[in-house]
C-alpha cells in the first residue's frame, strides 16, 4: 500500500463473512484503492476468502455491488470526527 493511502483518514471499512465468500476475486479487482486481498487461509468450503487489508477503505461500496454472494461483504461508512 502506498503512503498516500496509508496516511489518508479512512472513510469506511469493510467486513468479509469468510464462510459466505467463494474467493472469486471480483471485489479485489474492483476495489479502487486496492485494499482487499485473498486470504491465505481456507474457509470451510475450501476457498481462500477475501480479506480487508485494514486501512484505506473509502466506503464507496463498489466491492459490495460487485460481489455475487449475498452476505459476503458488509461496507460501513465512517463519519469524519
> What are the residues binding ligand SF4 (CB under 6 A)?
12, 14, 16, 21-27, 31-33, 35-36, 49-50, 57-63, 66-67, 69, 72-73, 75
Q: How far apart are CA 44 and CA 62, in angstroms?
A: 26
CB nearer ligand SF4, residue 63 or residue 81: 63
Residue 81 C-beta: closest distance to ligand SF4, Å = 19
**How many other CB atoms sit within 10 Å of the CB of residue 13?**
18
Residue 26 C-beta: closest distance to ligand SF4, Å = 4
Q: How far apart are CA 81 and CA 35, in angstroms?
A: 22
Amino acid at each position: 500500500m502506498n503512503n498516500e493511502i496509508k496516511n489518508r483518514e479512512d472513510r469506511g471499512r469493510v467486513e468479509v463473512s469468510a464462510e459466505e465468500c467463494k474467493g472469486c476475486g471480483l471485489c479485489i479487482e474492483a476495489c479502487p484503492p486496492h485494499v482487499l486481498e485473498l486470504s491465505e487461509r481456507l474457509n470451510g468450503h475450501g476457498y481462500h476468502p477475501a480479506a480487508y487489508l485494514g486501512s484505506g477503505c473509502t466506503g464507496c461500496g463498489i466491492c459490495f455491488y460487485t460481489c455475487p454472494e449475498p452476505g459476503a461483504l458488509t461496507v460501513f461508512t465512517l463519519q469524519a470526527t
